[in-house]
Amino acid sequence: MTKHARLFAPTVLAALLGACTIIPDPARPESAAVPPPGSAVALGQPVTVCSLVATPLEVVEDSRCPVNARCVWAGRLVVRTRIEGQGWNQTSDLVLGEPYPTRGGTFALVAGNPSPEAGTPTPREAYRFVYEPR
């Protein structure tokens, strides 16, 4: 292995691993700690996604096919989400499974639970969401 190859591999590995580090926010008290990436969070609860913080604010649309029904169309879940980065923030509607590019990288809403049931409205406080980097 050449000298350059020995230096290159650790540098690339450090860059890749450093891309999704959790940066503590001194403005947030420890009691309001942000859960790690991949955690399921409720409406109003922030979660880290790489160097960003995503907070689901409201369910804009939940037209997913109920678990106890047969559907022609799968439907979709749309969640209004506040996205915060270093010195900026924005609010956008994210669609389940669709990548969302933003200043701090690309991520997606990858899960929304519970799945709807026919004839039973889902209470706001029952929802949990998972965001992941893409």
Spell out the domains of the chain, with CATH numbers in brackets: 3-133 (2.60.98)
Tell me how far apart the terminal alpha carbons of the chain are, to the nearest angstrom: 32
Residues of the chain with pLDDT under 50: 5, 7-31
Give the pLDDT of residue 103: 87
Give the pLDDT of residue 2: 54
**Nearest-angstrom CA–CA distance, 19 and 15:** 6
pLDDT digit string, tens, across residues 90-105: 999 999 999 999 987 8
Single pTM value for the model: 0.74
Written as six digits, the tokens of 12 are: 């690339």
| Cα 29 to chain centroid, rounded | 21
Return the bridge partners of 92, or none. Answer: 81
**Nearest-angstrom CA–CA distance, 86 and 78:** 25
Give the pLDDT of residue 98: 97
- The one-letter code for the residue type at 74 is A
**What burial letters (b/e) apply to 112-123, b meaning 16+ CB within 10 Å?**
beeebeeeeeee
**Nearest-angstrom CA–CA distance, 79 and 60:** 5
**Nearest-angstrom CA–CA distance, 104 and 49:** 9
